[in-house]
């Protein structure tokens, strides 16, 4: 059977320039894994990377016309906007090229399948959750696909839905198919594990990769299997920087650390560098030193807050002391970490924000614009599948987006906090607009760009502190935003 997997075109919304939580980073390998598993099962497969290849809809249509698939499966990504243009395109493709079955997969259709099926009648099914096994089952039984486990689809009585079977042994999966465009800037995305052992309220990883009730379920590949994939990529491309897309690189407890030490020992035998993402409580001296010796150069640590009451509300199961110790250990080993931080969450108070600001200052996290512009503006993004979404819905505080049930907002308990969050978003968007063309030069240490970044950073941090000290400034909101943007522009000009 001829099966076409499509990564559809998408672009960032102007006011959501640095919001990446609409789909987890690990999803960038989803289509490659599906393609590999279908090929292993003996099917004829093509993969169109519409997003990474910057393809237009016309260019995609030409490839569909040439391939003529029986089954078209689309990685449907919510893009902070109504998907009607994409839906209209898929509807026409199905009709014009005799496509027997149109299915979608990914985080968005998993948690908003009723909406997707309603908005695009041409879509026959949505694959829910992890889907390597589901897609093969669908392809093998396309003539009676309604019997396939792991699908949501319309029936005479409404919508029927079930989650598919999880891959218990990740080593049994073939390595994902990667096209030439799968290496942005020479970076190789790789997945060493799935799921997480924690239950952060803002996260939807476990309902997708776990048992679909939100209970923690972390599964791993063996270090040997990971190394075999790395060797294959090097042999095929000579790319040598790998970024582990795992939501949680470390597994739980001693077993998780022992596995990391074993993996580090294997990675050390290869001439590579790599980056990971981790929780603060997993950072210790022994594993950090081993990973750095093996080639680790980058890490993103999910700190989220510098106030214990907020960490507890977010169900992080970490402490402020652990956050600070993680920063100390990483820096002692030569790593300046990127950090995940939620400055504005629905129940934030000004005491929370002041404590957060003090935490960031004393831990030297506001010295570079690349960090400051992120940690000082991020609000909690509320997406379907997360416990926050469900809790706010139970409390009657959830406001569904005009575009989709997948995204929601809520009223802040303090209206001035809401205004502060809105002010910071407008100011940082202004900075993102400017910095897009200067970012690489500043990262490379080009003197003029670096100096401009430093000046803008001083202005940004200064404005945040000024509002913390005098929240009543927010009452003349439009004038305040205009003044702050002018200060940024003067800093850019030097």
Q: Does residue 299 lie within any of the structural domains?
A: yes
Tokens standing for 450? 């670096």
Are 247 and 277 in contact by the 8 Å Cβ rule? The answer is: yes
Q: Does residue 191 lie within any of the structural domains?
A: yes
Tally of domains within the chain? 2
Residue pLDDT tens, the chain, 494 long: 899 999 999 877 767 766 777 788 888 999 999 999 999 999 999 999 999 999 999 999 999 999 999 999 999 998 887 788 999 999 999 999 999 999 999 999 999 999 999 999 999 999 999 999 999 999 999 999 999 999 999 999 999 999 988 999 999 999 999 999 888 889 999 999 998 999 899 999 888 886 655 566 789 999 999 999 999 999 999 999 999 999 999 999 999 999 999 999 999 999 999 999 999 999 999 999 999 999 999 999 999 999 999 999 999 999 999 999 999 999 999 999 999 999 999 999 999 999 999 999 999 999 999 999 999 999 999 999 999 999 999 999 999 988 899 999 999 999 999 999 999 999 999 999 999 888 889 888 899 999 999 999 999 999 999 999 999 999 999 999 999 999 999 999 98
Same domain, 210 and 321: yes
Same domain, 227 and 333: yes
Same domain, 143 and 252: no
Structural domain ending residue among the three candidates 339, 366, 395:
339
Point out which residues pair with 409 in neighbouring strands: 399
Sign of the torsion angle spanned by Cα atoms 69, 73, 79, 82: positive
Q: How many CB atoms lie within 10 A of CB 123?
A: 26
Residues 6+ apart with CB under 8 A from 391: 201
Q: Give the domain range for residue 21.
A: 1-159
Same domain, 192 and 289: yes
Give the distance between the most distant pair of CA atoms in the chain: 67
Q: Does residue 380 lie within any of the structural domains?
A: no
Query: The domain spanning residue 90 has which CATH number?
Result: 3.40.50.2300
Same domain, 68 and 214: no
Sign of the torsion angle spanned by Cα atoms 330, 28, 230, 139: positive
CA–CA distance, 186 with 149 (Å, rounded to integer): 38
Cα–chain-centroid distance for residue 164? Answer: 22
CA count, 13 A, side-chain hemisphere, 392 = 28
Same domain, 198 and 320: yes
Total-model pTM: 0.94
Smallest CA-to-CA distance from 239 within 290, 273, 286 is with: 273
Q: List strand residue ranges (DSSP E) for 393-480, in order.
A: 398-400, 407-410
Query: The domain spanning residue 332 has which CATH number?
Result: 3.20.20.70
Same domain, 217 and 140: no
Helices 223-237, 253-267: inter-axial angle, 10-degree rounding:
30
Cα–chain-centroid distance for residue 204? Answer: 10
């Amino acid at each position: 059977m001829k099966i076409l997997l499509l990564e559809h075109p998408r672009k960032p919304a102007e006011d959501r320039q640095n919001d990446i939580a609409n789909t987890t980073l690990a999803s960038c390998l989803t289509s490659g894994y599906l393609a590999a598993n279908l090929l292993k099962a003996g099917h004829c497969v093509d993969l169109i990377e519409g997003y990474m290849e910057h393809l237009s809809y016309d260019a995609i249509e030409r490839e569909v016309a040439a391939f003529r698939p029986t089954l078209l499966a689309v990685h449907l990504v919510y893009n902070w906007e109504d998907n009607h243009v994409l839906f209209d395109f898929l509807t026409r493709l199905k009709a014009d090229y005799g496509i027997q079955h149109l299915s979608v997969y990914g985080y968005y259709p998993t948690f908003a399948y009723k909406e997707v099926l309603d908005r695009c009648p041409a879509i026959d099914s949505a694959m829910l959750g992890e889907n390597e096994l589901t897609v093969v089952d669908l392809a093998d039984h396309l003539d009676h696909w309604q019997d396939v486990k792991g699908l949501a689809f319309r029936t005479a009585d409404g919508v029927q839905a079930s989650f598919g079977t999880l891959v218990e042994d990740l080593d049994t999966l073939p390595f994902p198919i990667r096209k030439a465009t799968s290496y942005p800037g020479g970076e190789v995305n790789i997945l060493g594990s799935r799921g997480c052992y924690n239950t952060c309220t803002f996260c939807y990883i476990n309902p997708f990769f776990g048992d679909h009730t939100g209970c923690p379920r972390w599964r791993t590949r063996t270090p040997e299997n990971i190394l075999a994939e790395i060797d294959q990529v090097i042999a095929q491309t000579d790319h040598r920087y790998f970024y582990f897309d795992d939501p949680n690189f470390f597994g739980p407890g001693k077993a998780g650390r022992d596995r990391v030490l074993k993996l580090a020992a294997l990675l050390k035998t290869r001439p590579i560098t790599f980056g990971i993402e981790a929780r603060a409580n997993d950072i210790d001296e022994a594993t950090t030193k081993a990973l750095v010796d093996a080639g680790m150069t980058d890490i993103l640590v999910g700190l989220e807050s510098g106030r214990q009451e907020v960490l507890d509300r977010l169900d992080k199961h970490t402490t402020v002391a652990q956050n600070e110790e993680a920063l100390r250990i990483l820096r002692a080993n030569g790593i300046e970490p990127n950090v995940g931080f939620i400055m504005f969450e629905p129940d934030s108070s000004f005491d929370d924000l002041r404590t957060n600001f003090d935490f960031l200052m004393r831990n030297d996290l506001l010295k570079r614009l690349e960090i400051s512009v992120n940690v000082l503006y991020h609000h909690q993004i509320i997406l379907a599948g997360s416990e926050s979404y469900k809790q706010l819905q139970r409390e009657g505080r959830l406001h569904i987006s005009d575009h989709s049930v997948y995204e929601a907002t809520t009223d802040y308990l303090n209206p001035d906090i809401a205004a502060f969050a809105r002010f910071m978003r407008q100011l940082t968007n202004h900075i993102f607009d400017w910095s897009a063309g200067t970012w690489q030069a500043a990262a490379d240490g080009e003197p003029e760009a670096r100096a401009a970044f430093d000046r803008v950073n001083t202005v940004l941090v200064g404005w945040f502190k000024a509002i913390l000290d005098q929240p009543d400034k927010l009452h003349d909101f439009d004038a305040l935003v205009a003044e702050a943007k002018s200060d940024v522009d003067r800093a850019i000009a030097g």
